Structure 1
Amino acid sequence: MTNSTPRICVVGGGPAGLTCARVLQGHGIEVTVYDADDSVDSRDPGGTLDLHADSGQIALADAGLLDAFMARARPEGQAKTRRDHHGTVLAEFTPGPGDEAAPEIDRGRLRRLLFDHLRPGTVRWGHRLVRATRTVHGGHRLEFADGTTVEADLVIGADGAWSKVRPLVSDATPRHLGVCFLDARFDEVDSRHPEVAGIVGAGHMFSNDNDGRAVILQRNGDGVVRGYIAFRAAPDWHVGAGVDLTDRESIRSHLTREFGHWSAVMRALIVRNDGDYVPRSFQALPAPLTWEHVPGVTLIGDAAHLMAPFGGHGANLAMLDGAELAHAVSRASGPDPATGLDEAVTRYESDMFARSGDLAVSSNEALLQFFATTDVPDLPPDPEQEHRDYLARAEAYRQERARRADERTDS
């Protein structure tokens, strides 16, 4: 490493990695991002995200992109409806005018927004990391599937659940949470599936029974609703059930039997989707996860604290991780550049552990409670109170940042 230009590589071009790169560039720090995808939009990036005022939106503000995000976001997507498995409405929430505590945006649009605001050439697409190893000089070597290698003074693992960077700092691996789901979609929903459009409304619809089954629908952009048909099961559930996951009708027959006690209206949400079902499952890292600092490497996002999606904290924390790490790197100082960088990353990790640990635990517990096989009702959170909490925590976060900045100035 030279005195002024550490070689920084981010592995993973999702929201966490791209946010980190954008904020680093805002500080005038060079960075290269490596991602396995062929391009920014070469695959289905998944459904919609709600970006919270106390985390994801702070990261976007740090990246200078909050206004651009708000121009693309859907505040009306914060609406929520809870129904039982007969379709009876149990609870509803409609955001009021000016409520921007947690507006929605499609994952693909968020990724494109971040990518488009990086310097050309920052992201090297088509680079699937195979191995990361420590070099004799104290840095790390990244080996990619196409045979290319690079060395870096700081490797930032933003490569998700099955991170190839994580083994450098921890032997932790994701565990299955006992819940699987089938990802389905409804296209041109308002014209082709008006009954689905009516049930899901402008935002989200949640429904579950007391046998560990649930249906979650989310309004996305461009007239799409994505549905998640979820149930308690082992990852290989289809083997014992005799279901061919490549055969749509085989899956539908199975779901019709499994959800046979649901009303006809609610069963329509399960078997009238467009296209194929995509099998997925809920995974999480041990929580809270910490590790002893390893010089020259760190983790952000799901690579550091993969958690259940209940509460929507994963992507929000991931982006805040990326921004906070970039700020920490920018403040690295001292007569020895390597030592200063290492101390900055160590401080970031300490703060990140404190920020993510309890949320990971509570998110995982919330998922298990939602899919519990019990007659005790799982009461939904109060969205209005959640939104007030997001705003209050956002203000507290900004005040704490200002206090720390004043301390650094005084010292």
Structure 2
Amino acid sequence: MQKTIAIVGAGLSGLTLARVLQVHGVATTIYEAETSATTRAQGGLLDIHEETGQVALRAAGLYDEFRALVLPGEDAKRVVDRHGTILFDRLGDPGSARPEVDRGELRRLLIGSLPPQTIKWGHKLTSIRHHSGGYDLTFANGSARADLVIGADGAWSMVRPLVTPAKPLYSGTCFIEIALAAGDPRHRTRVAAIGSGTLIAAEPGRGITVHRYADGLVRGYVALNKPEEWMRSIDFGDPAAGLRRVAAEFDGWSPLLTAFVTESDAPPLLRPIHALPAELTWDRTPGVTLVGDAAHLMSPFAGEGANLAMYDGADLAGELAGQLDTEAALAAYEKRLFPRSSEIAARSAQNLETFYGPDAPQSVVSVFDRH
């Protein structure tokens, strides 16, 4: 009899896992805390890598559909100093091996590839208990049992404590989301300064990064190396006043750059950057494992988080579908998971220091020169 598989979390890793299992004829159920696919905005662009994310999409049988979502030339990069002086400028490559897609569109593709009953929306996990026959999962609105539980529930995973006591730690860098609405003539000059893709302005301890979309929308974030308590002391009850306080940390910067902050149209959401230890491993725990951020939360500065998440899902699904011994499948998956995630997480942490470290912005230029 086929084992009952519960996936906790309908992010990219959980969705890819469920889709690849489906391709192999293995049914599963995803339990997601959000009430629907449209409850929350899904963030900006992702560059999907040939050796990870694209491998997963091929395994999911969705590669052609993914190619239809690609935004040609969106990988353009421009690096400037605090005065707006251009230090690096690279046009987008329509034939890039790491094409850009909108994260929300990619998630919708994966959701649409699954039978409607696969995802149980509005199922927030409140507790999970192991017993000899498997696991009992309790949700805010019900319960379920499963032989195998896979934690795809992100940074603050409820499943992770079953295998390790490790918790994410604050990296010292916090993002504040910013955006400018498309089509506003007041923003024409600063939008033009971005170039055709992403503008990165950085110096030690701070930076402003914004991306220009084809429809004129600008989205990005302010980055500050500050204690988490300092960031949370800013009162964004009055968004304009809160953003002015953030902009004050960029004293002496070009007004063309600080205007991205003071004139932002978006709710100024705080995004403290947390990470799990790069070298994290755990002992084989019967009937449970982790994928994506639940397994290897890292900063976004290697550009690998989403790619690795999808690759985890496809890799684990292949193991589960390929052999009858579930424990052997989980062990084989984790044997590959630990070294690949450790290497990428270490690189991500190093890149975070590079972007806002003592040698910025020249250190940022060096990163892009290497690529």
Same fold (TM over 0.5): yes
> What's the counterpart of residue 130 of structure 2?
134
- SS class of match (2:117): coil
Compared with structure 1, are the counterparts of its residues 384 and 102 closer, same or farther at alpha carbon in structure 2 (3 Å cutoff)?
Answer: farther
Check conservation: 1:41, 1:108, Cα contact below 8 A.
no
Check conservation: 2:243, 2:268, Cα contact below 8 A.
no
- 1:321 equivalenced with 2:315 (yes/no): no
Q: Unaligned regions of 5+ residues in structure 2, if any?
A: none
> Shift of residue 315 of structure 1?
0.6
| Pairing 1:170-319 to 2, within 5 Å after superposition | 170-189=164-183, 193-210=187-204, 212-220=205-213, 222-238=215-231, 243-319=234-310
Compared with structure 1, are the counterparts of its residues 349 and 375 closer, same or farther at alpha carbon in structure 2 (3 Å cutoff)?
Answer: closer
Aligned-partner Cα distance in 2 for 1:182–1:239: 11
Describe the superposition over 1:145-180 as per-residue Cα deviations: whole angstroms up to 9, x where unpaired. Answer: 11x111111111000000000000000000000011
Q: Unaligned regions of 5+ residues in structure 1, if any?
A: 334-339, 387-411
- 1:10 equivalenced with 2:7 (yes/no): yes
> Shift of residue 385 of structure 1?
5.7
Compared with structure 1, are the counterparts of its residues 297 and 83 closer, same or farther at alpha carbon in structure 2 (3 Å cutoff)?
Answer: same
> What's the counterpart of residue 356 of structure 2?
371
Compared with structure 1, are the counterparts of its residues 221 and 145 closer, same or farther at alpha carbon in structure 2 (3 Å cutoff)?
Answer: farther
> What's the counterpart of residue 348 of structure 1?
333
- Say which of 342, 346, 364 aligns to 1:361: 346
Describe the superposition over 1:300-341 as per-residue Cα deviations: whole angstroms up to 9, x where unpaired. Answer: 0000000010021111000000000000001113xxxxxx11
- 1:46 equivalenced with 2:46 (yes/no): no
Question: Which residue type is aligned with residue 174 of structure 1?
Answer: P
- Say which of 137, 150, 155 aligns to 1:156: 150
- 1:92 equivalenced with 2:89 (yes/no): yes
- Say which of 103, 111, 124 aligns to 2:99: 103
Out of 170-179 and 102-111, give the one that drifted further. Answer: 102-111
Check conservation: 1:78, 1:204, Cα contact below 8 A.
yes
> Shift of residue 71 of structure 1?
0.7
> Shift of residue 249 of structure 1?
2.2
RMSD of aligned residue pairs (Cα, Å): 1.8
- SS class of match (2:116): coil
> Shift of residue 380 of structure 1?
3.0
> What's the counterpart of residue 73 of structure 2?
76
Compared with structure 1, are the counterparts of its residues 151 and 381 closer, same or farther at alpha carbon in structure 2 (3 Å cutoff)?
Answer: farther
- Say which of 127, 145, 151 aligns to 2:140: 145
> What's the counterpart of residue 395 of structure 1?
none
Q: TM-score, normalised by structure 1?
A: 0.86
> Shift of residue 279 of structure 1?
1.2
> Shift of residue 192 of structure 1?
5.6
> What's the counterpart of residue 322 of structure 2?
331
Q: Identity percentage over the alignment? A: 42
Compared with structure 1, are the counterparts of its residues 54 and 270 closer, same or farther at alpha carbon in structure 2 (3 Å cutoff)?
Answer: same
> What's the counterpart of residue 405 of structure 1?
none
- SS class of match (1:75): coil
Aligned-partner Cα distance in 1 for 2:340–2:173: 26
- 1:31 equivalenced with 2:22 (yes/no): no
Question: Which residue type is aligned with residue 137 of structure 2?
Answer: L
- SS class of match (2:74): helix
Compared with structure 1, are the counterparts of its residues 111 and 85 closer, same or farther at alpha carbon in structure 2 (3 Å cutoff)?
Answer: same
Compared with structure 1, are the counterparts of its residues 205 and 261 closer, same or farther at alpha carbon in structure 2 (3 Å cutoff)?
Answer: same
Aligned-partner Cα distance in 2 for 1:169–1:381: 39
